[in-house]
Amino acid sequence: MNLKHSIRDRVAFTLVELLVVISIMAILAALAVPALKNIGKGNAQVGAAQQLVNDVARARQLAISDRTMVYMVFVPTNFWMASSWLSSLTQPERAVATNLMSMELSGYAFVAKGALGDQPGNHQWHYLDTWKVLPQGFMIAPMKFLSPPPYYTYFRDPINNQGFTIYPFNFSPNIPFPVADTNTESLASGNNSATSPLLPYIAFNYLGQVVSSAFDSDALGTGVDIPLAQGSVAYPLDPVTKTPSIPTSALLPSAVTESPPGNSTNINYNIVHVDPLTGRATLLYHHVQ
């Protein structure tokens, strides 16, 4: 008997066995890929929420360090529909506003009336940093921008099995937008309420406390809750350059799409909670296993 031939026969695979192994590996890969995609998507959503937590903390810290009221303002949809405000903008201001079209529901900035260096009794509006934006594909839930604020039972908390309410943002017509010196004369006279876009905001006083709380009723008590959503905002584009373009004739509105639909209100939530007394932000999240 040939010993080498016998060993080779025992360790070799037949073509059928090899095809079976490949088929099993293909099935396992097909099952694993969607799960891996969902893990990545969940991590990205938590990352977007954590960015918002960090920037809420930044607004609070600016209020404490500058000993002034700091507003964290958010870019609403269709802000260019305030046509009288739009027509009053200078060309540079209009350019800034156009750039903000791609930040609807996802952009925000820190603004203060009065900062270190202002003359006593002559406080000016200041944008304290550049406009920031959430990662692509993420936005603040559209219901948070509704005005006037209705009451919303947002979802049922899986821990204590109790429903709770999240209210929309507070709004102000008196914060200059999109830059600090926009409409400053009309702002000073208080006559611009019909022309300036209503800006959603949360605000912190010099102690770092929330002064714009809508007193959301949730598991953590009163405070401000900012729910996140996955989706996009389709804004008007220049037909030639395909870049954001504020319409000059027909004021076309943006279209908000949650993808998948309703993801801001299902149990797979990510919510930034801001405590009203301390002003500290924390991330509340729950993922269905």
- Non-local (6+) Cβ contacts of 125 within 8 A are 111, 112, 113, 175, 176, 180, 181, 184, 187
Q: Can you tell me which residue has the tokens 């993420």?
A: 138
Give the residue numbers spanning the domain of 15.
Answer: 3-285
Q: What span, in angstroms and rounded, lies between the C-alpha atoms of 2 and 7?
A: 9
Per-residue pLDDT tens for 164-179? 778 888 888 889 999 9
Cis peptide before 260 (omega within 30 of 0): yes
How confident is the model over 39-58, as a mean pLDDT? 82
**Which has more pLDDT, 213 or 182?**
182
What is the domain count for the chain?
Answer: 1
Q: Using pLDDT thresholds of 50, 70 and 90, give the confidence band for residue 188.
A: very low
Determine the pLDDT at residue 2: 53
pTM, rounded to two decimals = 0.78
Alpha-carbon span 92 to 98, nearest angstrom = 10
Residue entry with tokens 């016998």? 6
pLDDT tens per residue, range 123-145: 788 999 999 999 999 999 998 89
DSSP 3-state helix, strand, coil percentages of the chain (rounded to 5)? 30, 25, 45
Contact criterion met (CB below 8 Å) for 262 and 87: no
Beta strands in 206-269 (DSSP E): 224-234, 255-258
